[in-house]
Amino acid sequence: MKKNTHHSKHSFQKNFPTKLYAGIIVLIVAGFIGWIFRNNQLKGYPIDSKVSTTLNRTVIPISVPSNSPKLNPYDISKFSQYGYGVWLHGPGLTYQKRLDLMPSAYNDTSVTQTAKLLNFFTMTDIHLTDKESPAEMVYYGYKWGIISGYSPAMLYTTQILDAAIQTMNALHKQNPFNFGISLGDDINSGQYNELRWFIDVLDGKNINPDSGIKDDPIPGPHNDYQDEYKAVGLDKTIPWYQTLGNHDHFWAGMFPPDAYIKNAITGNELLNIGNVLTADHLGVKARGFYMGAIDGSTPNGDIIGAGPVADFKTPPTVPADPNRRFLSRNDWISEFFNTSSNPKGHGFSQANISTGFANYTFEPESNLPIKVIVLDDTQRDDNPNGYAYGRGALDQERYDWLVKELDKGQTEGKLMIIAAHIPIGVEKVDSFLGWTSISFISDENLITKLHEYPNLILWISGHRHLNTVTALKSPDAARTELGFWEVETASLREFPQQLRTFQIVRNSDNTISIFATDVDPAVKDGSLAALSRSYAIAAHQIFNDTKNLMPSGSYNTELVKQLTPEMQAKIQNYGIPIGK
| Mean pLDDT of the chain, nearest integer | 91
Q: Is the pLDDT of residue 417 over 80?
A: yes
CB 76 within 8 A of CB 535: yes
Amino acid identity, position 148: S
pLDDT of residue 63: 95
Q: Is the pLDDT of residue 325 over 60?
A: yes
pLDDT of residue 29: 36
Q: Is 293 within the bounds of a domain?
A: yes
**Nearest-angstrom CA–CA distance, 575 and 558:** 18
Please report, for residues 85, 86, 333, 537, 540, the alpha-carbon distance to residue 64 in angstroms, rounded to integers and kept in the order given.
8, 8, 43, 10, 11
pLDDT band of residue 387 (cuts 50, 70, 90) is: low
Helix (H) or strand (E) holding 292: strand 289-295
CB 128 within 8 A of CB 186: yes
Q: Is 3 within the bounds of a domain?
A: no
pLDDT of residue 279: 53
Q: Is the pLDDT of residue 539 over 60?
A: yes
Tell me, what CATH number does 175's domain have? 3.60.21.10
Please report, for residues 72, 294, 439, the alpha-carbon distance to residue 141 in angstroms, rounded to integers and kept in the order given.
10, 12, 30
**Nearest-angstrom CA–CA distance, 517 and 506:** 17
Nearest to 524 by CA among 44, 36, 37, 38: 44
CB 357 within 8 A of CB 329: no
Q: Is 436 within the bounds of a domain?
A: yes
Q: Is 20 within the bounds of a domain?
A: no
pLDDT of residue 280: 62
Q: Mind giving me the DSSP string for 161-223?
A: HHHHHHHHHHHHHHS--SEEEE-S--BSS-BHHHHHHHHHHHHT-EE----SS---SSSSTTS
- What proportions of the chain, in percent to the nearest 5, are helix, strand and coil? 30, 20, 50
Q: Is the pLDDT of residue 5 over 60?
A: no
pLDDT of residue 579: 73
Nearest 10 degrees: Cα torsion 205, 209, 215, 220: -50
Give the domain extent around 189.
57-577
Please tell me the total count of domains within the chain. 1
Nearest to 189 by CA among 157, 160, 219, 214: 157
Q: Is 200 within the bounds of a domain?
A: yes
- Poorest-pLDDT segment among 19-23, 192-196, 255-259, 310-314: 19-23
The three-state secondary structure class of 539 is helix
CB 471 within 8 A of CB 427: no
Q: Is 485 within the bounds of a domain?
A: yes
Model confidence over 241-271: pLDDT tens digits?
999 999 999 999 988 999 999 999 999 999 9
443-450 and 396-411 helices, crossing angle to 10°: 20
Exposed/middle/buried for 19, CB within 10 Å: 0-12, 13-18, 19+? Answer: exposed
Model confidence over 11-32: pLDDT tens digits?
333 343 444 444 434 333 334 3
Q: Is the pLDDT of residue 523 over 70?
A: yes
Within 10 Å of residue 299's Cβ, how many Cβ atoms? Answer: 14
State the average pLDDT over residues 541-546.
85
Q: Is the pLDDT of residue 580 over 80?
A: no
Model confidence over 104-120: pLDDT tens digits?
999 999 999 999 999 99
pLDDT of residue 545: 73
State the average pLDDT over residues 281-298.
90
**Nearest-angstrom CA–CA distance, 523 and 520:** 8
For residue 510, which phi and psi values (nearest 5 degrees)? Answer: 65, 20
Model confidence over 457-486: pLDDT tens digits?
999 999 999 999 999 999 999 999 999 999
CB 59 within 8 A of CB 552: yes
Counting residues of the chain whose pLDDT is more than 70, the rounded percentage is 91
**Nearest-angstrom CA–CA distance, 85 and 14:** 70
Model confidence over 49-66: pLDDT tens digits?
999 999 999 999 999 999
Q: Is 395 within the bounds of a domain?
A: yes
**Nearest-angstrom CA–CA distance, 390 and 211:** 26
Q: Is the pLDDT of residue 513 over 50?
A: yes
Amino acid identity, position 541: Q
What is the end-to-end Cα distance of the chain in Å, rounded? 94
State the average pLDDT over residues 299-325.
97
CB 422 within 8 A of CB 392: yes
pLDDT of residue 342: 97
Chain-centroid distance, C-alpha 424: 20
Q: Is the pLDDT of residue 39 over 50?
A: no
Q: Is the pLDDT of residue 424 over 70?
A: yes
- Biggest CA–CA distance in the chain, Å, is 116
Q: Look up the pTM and report it.
A: 0.91
Q: Is 29 within the bounds of a domain?
A: no
- Poorest-pLDDT segment among 67-81, 283-297, 537-551: 537-551
Model confidence over 68-115: pLDDT tens digits?
999 999 999 999 999 999 999 999 999 999 999 999 999 999 999 999
**Nearest-angstrom CA–CA distance, 578 and 350:** 40
